[in-house]
Amino acid sequence: MATTLKPVDAVIVGFGWTGAIMAQQLADAGLEVLALERGPWRDTSTDFATGFAQDELRYMWRHHLFQNVSDDTLTVRNNTSQTALPMRHLGSFLLGTGVGSGGVHWNGQIWRFLPSDFLTKSHNEQRYGKQAVTDYDLTVQDWGVTYEELEPFYNQFDVLCGTSGKAGNLNGTIQPGGNPFEGARSAEYPTPPMPQTYGPTLFGKAATELGRHPFPHPTGNLSQPYVNNFGAQLGACTYCGFCEKFGCGNYSKASPQTTLLPYVMAKPNFTLRTETEVLKVELSPDRKHATGVTYVNSAGEEFFQPASIVILSSYILQNVRLLLLSGIGTPYDPQTGQGVVGKNYAYQTMSSVNVFFDDKLINPFIGAGALATVVDDFNGDNFDHSGLGFIGGAYIAGMITGGRPIEMIYTPQGTPAWGMAWKHAAAKNYLRSFSLSVHGSCMSHRGNYLDLDPTYRDIHGRPMLRMTFDFTDNEHKMSDYLTDRAAEIAKAMNPREIKLNRRVGSWSVVPYQTTHNTGGAIMGDSPASSVVNKYLQSWDVSNVFSMGAGAFPQNAGYNPTGTVAALAYYSAQAIVQQYLKNPGPLVQA
Amino acid sequence: MDKPVPGRRHFLISTAVAAGAGVAGSLGAKVHDGELGAPPRTYKGGVPWTEGLADQPPGISGTDFKFFTPAERVFIEAAVSRLIPNDEVGPGAVEANVPFFLDRQLAGPFGRGDHYYLGGPWPKGAPEQGYQSRFSPAQMYRAAIAAIDKYAHANFNGADFAKLSDDDRDKLLKGMESGSIQLEDGVDAKTFFAMLLQNTKEGYFSDPIYGGNKDMAAWKMIGFPGAHYDYREWVTRHGEPVPFPPVGFKGRPGWNGES
Ligand SMILES: Cc1cc2nc3c(=O)[nH]c(=O)nc-3n(C[C@H](O)[C@H](O)[C@H](O)COP(=O)(O)OP(=O)(O)OC[C@H]3O[C@@H](n4cnc5c(N)ncnc54)[C@H](O)[C@@H]3O)c2cc1C
Ligand code: SF4
């Protein structure tokens, strides 16, 4: 039997970026806040010491910082005619766990979505006609929130992180050196862009020659020391090349640890409990109100934690699963198109182009999580899609995140994967090659969704989450078009040769792609078409709020966390300024 | 809705305190891997920093083999020496001590499948669904080595895999890679090949602390300087060779004056 604990004002499920942001916001508003985190405590000085943070085997391949899937994973399939089977080993995406979670082992690529990205349905319909958004059974929607509404909150995240970059559009005026396609920003980045190494510099030159508009990637790998508004001190990135999938020992990557935790942990009205896994959100008999959550600790003891507000910040896949397991909202049915929970699961559409030089030493080991020069000319609706047969786009980045030798040795077209020929190609090309990445959008589709698996269960006996996903023709066409644009830039660098890694075939759970899963708990302007309103508040149970990229109705051609954080701030402000005064739905259905 | 709570009396503490669950977190104990299994803890009033508590890499000790039988070891050497052969350009997998690395990996948490979900049922699945074996990596190696020798006996005049010529070993390995060869006893040839190749490259290029990449020779071959963490000086020195010899977690020979 579960032991009932003393009630709190707000319980936060999961303690990554969104959990930490909500903890700070709600605790500052004076609420008694408790965060429950499945994984352990982690911090910079003890867990990511610079002496051994550069351990590719331990962190990348033995998954030291990631979720251990041995007792809980999800099942995957490409379409409903298949039987979903467990993801038995992490591959396509790397789920986080522990304090800071994905915010610890992310790259620090910080983006805002384009103003038109928030209007994917109406904007594209208006410009290209109705069929543009319904072709291929796409189920794209508008977000119910606009770029202009989110802008101050994007800014708040930049100020928190000390984001390094150059504005391209300051209050509507285009600025040299930045991204001319971005939405209007109300402020310059807190710190200047990172100086670029050789590869990204060559990319920028070639892109300029082709008439594109390159700019330095906005980043949470800091270009210079920075003290944020909570007094947290970040150092300058040392380009160690062990960033993505690793913790930063230099305090130079923005993470919950380096920006928020020293402040939030010291607050008397905040408590963090680790090694505790929330099993379910408990509801009142009329199912309109959450009474709290049930969790289990690592000793197997169950507790009921009463709370007035429940914040789900357990990453999109766990959030959707908790909604389904708790009976909040109607599950989506791909046959009828009815129901919303699990609807519009989407991902990211990636491809790349490798360039190989004879005469240029690229030194790829001098890298950083977000070290890149980027071209945004073919992202979102920054270009005319007429006659192209797809919507969406991608940014193209001349990017060097590092030269980790198990993962990142590029060999030319036709090189075998092993044997003497492979070894010679590795020795010859390692220092003289790098990769352009094409980071593409992924539209939502009628057949792509999340629900509960009928067969497989976790160690607590709960059904696993089932993922049904494949790339559609829209994504393949977009990706091919964009990969060709990247190849043009690659060729303009005059390398010895290039190699195209197109996005072909069905989605596979095996190779790493991105941990940019989206949808399933989507936001919108009506309960018939969305799980949460624009404030991330559940339409069905008004004291439950669901954070994270699960709210994205479809995915844009950018990394998600800037938008995830902006939405969390936007939601927190609505809770503090509106909900606390008058608990109940913030938007009338 | 409760009224906003005024700050409760609290103590600024630098270590974990037990609350709620009534379980005292054992202070100073190492919490590993982000897995449920460490004691539940409650943190309040500050960052729970403990002096000297750094999560160091596990590393290995000793030189003895713990997992492979002598016969399996002969097989592994014969296989990895084809995956990464030796010549003057750089070490082969055997010269880089990959068989020892593999042995220690298989004898430890990786071999046990600590990060694999191995529960049933186990239907075959589509290639896109990834690893679908009920074997942990250690069980997979053991079963696969036996199955490959069986296949070699049946198809190459009764010889063990290790006794085959270079060409025949390559032929067999290629057949496994492409999936054109079927093995017995529940071993999927393609799955095992992918695992063996991946683990071989891991042993070849990972920090020497794990037993492979002997003398950092694989890093030297490609020009990777190892566990450096500060390249600021070199960021804008475009195209210049970086002259650092490689360094591992335990430093490099010569740091103590010996060499
Ligand atoms: C290798 C890698 C690189 C990335 N790079 C970038 C990048 O450069 N730019 C970018 O924008 N994004 C990047 N991302 C994505 C980014 O990490 C995520 O968008 C972000 O961390 C999501 O924050 P979150 O708060 O929604 O979830 P998380 O940070 O994942 O936090 C969720 C937390 O909830 C906990 N939890 C889950 N279930 C339960 C439960 N039932 N009970 C209790 N606790 C639970 C988890 O343990 C975890 O700590 C990257 C991700 C990875 C893995
Ligand atoms: S690349 Fe920079 S920000 Fe990333 S881990 Fe290394 S030093 Fe830290």
Indicate whether B36 pLDDT > 60: no
- Tell me: pLDDT of A370 over 80: yes
What count of residues does chain B have? 259
Nearest residue on chain B to A98, alpha-carbon basis: B34
Residue A72 Cα, gap to closest chain B Cα (Å): 7
Interface-testing mutation among A85, A310, A428, A580, with chain B (most B C-beta atoms within 10 A): A85
End-to-end CA distance of chain A: 37
Task: Give the separation between CA A235 and CA A138, rounded to whole angstroms.
Answer: 44
Task: Return the residue whose CA atom lies nearest to atom 19 of ligand 1.
Answer: A561
| B32 part of contact set with chain A, CB < 8 Å | yes
Nearest atom in ligand 2 to the alpha carbon of residue A247 is 5
Look up the pTM and report it: 0.95
Q: Scanning the structure block, which residue is given the tokens 């030493």?
A: A361
Interface confidence (ipTM) of the complex: 0.96
Is the model more confident about B27 or about B113?
A: B113
Query: Mean pLDDT throughout A354-373?
Result: 98
Q: Residues A418-440: pLDDT tens digits?
A: 999 999 999 999 999 999 999 99
Buried b vs exposed e over A330-342: b needs ≥16 C-beta within 10 Å?
A: bbbebeeeebbbb
Which residue type occupies A156? Q
Which of the pair, B8 or B185, is modelled with greater confidence? B185
SS3 B109: helix
> What per-residue confidence (pLDDT) applies to B102?
98
Q: What is the pLDDT of residues A103-138, one digit of tens each?
A: 999 999 999 999 999 999 999 999 999 999 988 999
pLDDT at A1: 77
With beta carbons under 8 A apart, name residues in chain A contacting B177.
417
Characterize the bridge pairing of strands A85-86 and A74-77: antiparallel
β-bridge pairing A349-356 and A433-440: antiparallel
Annotation says A516 is catalytic: yes
Average pLDDT value over all residues in chain A:
97
Which residue from B217, B178, B183 is spatially nearest to B94, judged by alpha carbons? B217
pLDDT in tens, A259-269: 999 999 999 99
**Separation CA B109–CA B130 (nearest Å):** 21
Residue A195's alpha-carbon distances to A111, B57, B214, B228, in angstroms, are 18, 32, 35, 19
Q: How far is the CA of A102 from the centre of ligand 1 (A)?
A: 3
Cβ–Cβ below 8 Å for B40 and A82? no
- What number of CA atoms fall less than 13 Å from residue A420's CA on the CB side? 8
Write out pLDDT tens, residues B95-104: 999 999 999 9
Q: Which among A45, A65, A197, A243 is the best mutation to test ligand 2's pocket, defined by most ligand atoms within 8 Å of the CB? A: A243
Q: What residues of chain B lie within 8 A of the CB of A58, using their CB?
A: 57-58
Find the farthest-apart pair of alpha carbons in chain A and give their distance in angstroms, rounded.
Answer: 72
Peptide bond connecting B121 to the previous residue in cis, omega within 30 degrees of 0: yes
Mutate to test the interface with A, among B98, B115, B221 (most CBs of A within 10 A): B115
d(CA A453, CA A543): 27
The nearest alpha carbon in chain A to B87 belongs to A420
For A327-342, how does the pLDDT look when each residue is reduced to its tens digit (9 = 90+)? Answer: 999 999 999 999 999 9
Contact B64/A at CB under 8 A: no
pLDDT of residue A52: 86
**Mean per-residue pLDDT, A168-175:** 98
Dist. CA A177–CA A185, nearest whole Å: 14
Task: For residues A11 and A142, give the distance between their C-alpha atoms in angstroms, rounded to a whole number.
Answer: 30
Between chains, do A70 and B201 touch, taking CB under 8 Å as contact? no
**By CA distance, what is B238's nearest residue in A?**
A198
Catalytic residue among A217, A385, A445, A516: A516
Using one digit for the tens of pLDDT, what is the confidence trace for A528-552? 999 999 999 999 999 999 999 999 9
Residues 6+ apart with CB under 8 A from A108: A161, A219, A220, A221, A243, A253, A254, A368, A369, A370
Instruction: Give the DSSP per-residue string, B50-69.
Output: -TT----------SS-SSS-
**Bridging pattern class, strands A8-13 and A302-312:** parallel
List strands edge to edge, sheet with A394-399.
Answer: A215-216, A372-375, A394-399, A433-440, A349-356, A497-501
List, as one string, the DSSP characters of A320-388.
Answer: HHHHHHHT-SPBP-TTT----BTTT-B--EEEEEEEE-SS----TTSB-TT-EEEE-TTSTTSS--TTT
Residues with CB under 6 A from ligand 1: A 13-19, 36-39, 94, 96-98, 101-103, 105-109, 244-245, 277-278, 313-315, 318, 369-370, 515, 547-549, 559-562, 564
B33 and chain A: CB distance < 8 Å anywhere? yes
CA distance A511 to chain B (A): 9
